[in-house]
Amino acid sequence: MTDNLKTVAPIEEFDWDAYAKGDVYSKENKEKLTESYDNTLSKINDKEVVTGTVTSMNKREVVVNIGYKSDGVVSMNEFRYNPELKVGDEVEVYIESQEDKKGQLILSHKKARASRSWDRVNAALENNEVIKGYIKCRTKGGMIVDVFGIEAFLPGSQIDVKPIRDYDIFVDKTMEFKVVKINPEFKNVVVSHKALIEEELEQQKKEIISKLEKGQVLEGVVKNVTSYGVFVDLGGVDGLIHITDLSWGRIQHPDEVVRLDDKINVVILDFDDDKKRIALGLKQLTPHPWDAMDDSLKVGDIVKGKVVVIADYGAFVEVAAGVEGLIHVSEMSWTQHLHSAQDFMKVGDEVEAVILTLDREERKMSLGVKQLKPDPWDNIEEKYPVGSTHTATVRNFTNFGAFVEIEEGVEGLIHISDLSWTKKIKHPSEVTEIGAPIKVQVLEIDKENRRLSLGHKQLEENPWDVFETIFTAGSVHEGTILEFVDKGAVIALPYGVEGFATPKHLVKEDGSQAQVDEKLEFKVIEFNKDAKRIIVSHSRIHEDAQGGGSDESRKGKRSGKKENQSSTMAIPVMEKTTLGDIEELAALKEKLDNQKVAAFKKEAKAKANKEEEAKVAEAEVKDEPKIATEAEETVENKTEETKSEE
């Protein structure tokens, strides 16, 4: 022991005073020890990003060792984007403060990510990298996604290849995305999840398209329904079923057949060279209704159906699903008056019809409704014989007459010349109007062409038969000058009749010319019943009074040529209203009718005895001048009474 101590060399310059005070380290040693200790710790600065290691974690916090004298604590919320975080993982953190009031190291993973996020986001866009993001919330038009600590926008159209109806189901989910757009100026980032799905679908699409063939049957999902058709997803490839290929029958909208998200089998009808447009069919998977139609159905059979389409020219009736027939408007009613199909039926009506034509090869059928009723023209001659009187309805006007309908399917024409005996009609609207009732008499029947010739004036006796006995040549009547025309003047005579006088026959006794509205005496110098013309003269009256002689002697003195010229002078026909409501004329007509009845009775008796027939005939010849004289006397008496009353 003593020997060992002898070998220990004494420490030079040992500070015994420091040792006495308990300080065993020298100043230099202390500096060395301090330096050595400092080298074991990381040198960190505030506001910088460093890499640390997760040492422990719970539901609320993550403890990170960055090699500093104390560990830092980071909120678990900052690691929501990375649910797979575990102890031992290296993470980047941002040093907010080396020590707080409690001496705790303050770190932030979110800020560390934000400081590096733009570099990583730009790198992800350039490298087409798939990144993960946490969907924080919903916003207008899409979602807000946390990507590397940056709030990126996920448009609703970029969530999935299918339309999204409920956005809320994606909130709080971590999904993979691709960066599709960056705006550095406004710090905006747009991401897409649909792009990832489309890449997968593109591979499937190429595989499906390479195997497409016409007539191939595939299963698909209804992706979209429009007014013109249905889009079907065939597993990454979309095809269109046009509305006409959905059903053999007529439909108004595709949703009558399919619904959104329905799984259906479809057949490939056609596709373009690039196979980008695929035409699909649904009805082609079922037999055509015309092929399944009853073979016993034939022309003349009565069928029932529903009106599915209507147009001006007719209506299409569906007699079975996919089997339609056309009812032309001419086959809806026996009437010949033109109508529109809408006047007889409307869409949705249930109707009965007769099959008129049936072409199974062309798949065409024509139907008729009017055939269910009897044709009124079959017994037209018995129902509406010539001379019969009926009440009709005015349907249409033309310049030459009026078309009227006696009953449905029975129409006829009243010629303009058969509307009135006395009035010159320029247009049928002067007498009646469309839709108004009018009495007619059947004049002629053309059954083959389904035409009736009707008359209205024939319901009254021809007043010119009576005028013939009143306005005899040489008779004098009071008249009023109505107007002057090219070759003379129109004279208003009794009973509403008009006559005509040339200028030379309008010279008064004092040599002056008669004027309009002047009332004078006129002598009948010509009466033409067929032409409905009466020529009168005022000059003849005072010429006869001055001894000008009778008409016969005057005619003898005139040259035949001159007389012929005056007789052939073009005189306009003047007509006026009917005389049915004039009491005097009615009485005269009644008297003439009675005379005709008496004459007919005499003829009946004459048939029994030839000798008596001859005697009766002679008596009638003798009596005719008396009858005419009596009629003239009656008219003259009425005229004198009228004058006396005036």
Look at residue 581 in the predicted model and tell me its pLDDT: 39
3-state helix, strand, coil in the chain (%, to 5): 30, 35, 35
Q: How confident is the model at residue 565 (pLDDT cuts 50, 70, 90)?
A: very low
Q: Would you say residue 590 has pLDDT above 70?
A: no
Q: How confident is the model at residue 36 (pLDDT cuts 50, 70, 90)?
A: low
Q: Would you say residue 627 has pLDDT above 70?
A: no
In angstroms, the CA 113 to CA 101 distance is 26
Percent of the chain with pLDDT over 90: 2
Look at residue 13 in the predicted model and tell me its pLDDT: 60
Look at residue 250 in the predicted model and tell me its pLDDT: 77
Q: What is the mean pLDDT of residues 198-216?
A: 77
Name the helix (H) or strand (E) containing 632.
helix 610-645
Cβ-count burial of 611 within 10 angstroms (0-12 exposed, 13-18 middle, 19+ buried)?
exposed
49-57 and 302-311: which strand pairing? unpaired
Is 103 or 305 the better-scoring residue by pLDDT? 305
Q: How confident is the model at residue 567 (pLDDT cuts 50, 70, 90)?
A: very low
Strand partners, 498: 492
User: Which of 36-50, 92-106, 509-523 has the highest average model confidence (pLDDT)?
Assistant: 509-523
Coil vs helix vs strand at 16 = helix
Q: How confident is the model at residue 553 (pLDDT cuts 50, 70, 90)?
A: very low
Q: How confident is the model at residue 640 (pLDDT cuts 50, 70, 90)?
A: very low
Look at residue 566 in the predicted model and tell me its pLDDT: 39
In angstroms, the CA 8 to CA 44 distance is 45
Strand partners, 231: 224, 240
Q: How confident is the model at residue 643 (pLDDT cuts 50, 70, 90)?
A: very low
Q: Would you say residue 608 has pLDDT above 50?
A: no
Q: How confident is the model at residue 25 (pLDDT cuts 50, 70, 90)?
A: low
Look at residue 91 in the predicted model and tell me its pLDDT: 87
Q: Would you say residue 528 has pLDDT above 80?
A: yes
Is 593 or 36 the better-scoring residue by pLDDT? 36
Q: Would you say residue 596 has pLDDT above 60?
A: no
Is 522 or 417 the better-scoring residue by pLDDT? 522
Is 542 or 631 the better-scoring residue by pLDDT? 542
Look at residue 210 in the predicted model and tell me its pLDDT: 74
| Of the candidates 278, 276, 233, the residue with the CA atom closest to the CA atom of residue 258 | 233
Look at residue 249 in the predicted model and tell me its pLDDT: 75
Q: What is the mean pLDDT of residues 412-418?
A: 86
278-292 per-position pLDDT tens digit: 889 888 888 777 776
Share the mean pLDDT of the chain.
76
Strand partners, 232: 222, 239
Lowest average pLDDT, out of 225-229, 255-259, 373-377, goes to 373-377
Q: Would you say residue 570 has pLDDT above 50?
A: no
| Of the candidates 267, 219, 218, the residue with the CA atom closest to the CA atom of residue 241 | 267
In angstroms, the CA 185 to CA 189 distance is 11
| Of the candidates 377, 403, 382, the residue with the CA atom closest to the CA atom of residue 392 | 403
Q: What is the mean pLDDT of residues 104-109?
A: 83
Q: Would you say residue 514 has pLDDT above 50?
A: yes
Q: Which residues contact 526 (CB under 8 A, 6 or more apart)?
A: 473, 533, 534, 535, 567
Lowest average pLDDT, out of 5-9, 137-141, 389-393, 457-461, goes to 5-9
Q: Would you say residue 549 has pLDDT above 70?
A: no
Q: What is the DSSP letter of 507?
A: B
Q: Would you say residue 260 has pLDDT above 70?
A: yes
Q: Would you say residue 605 has pLDDT above 70?
A: no
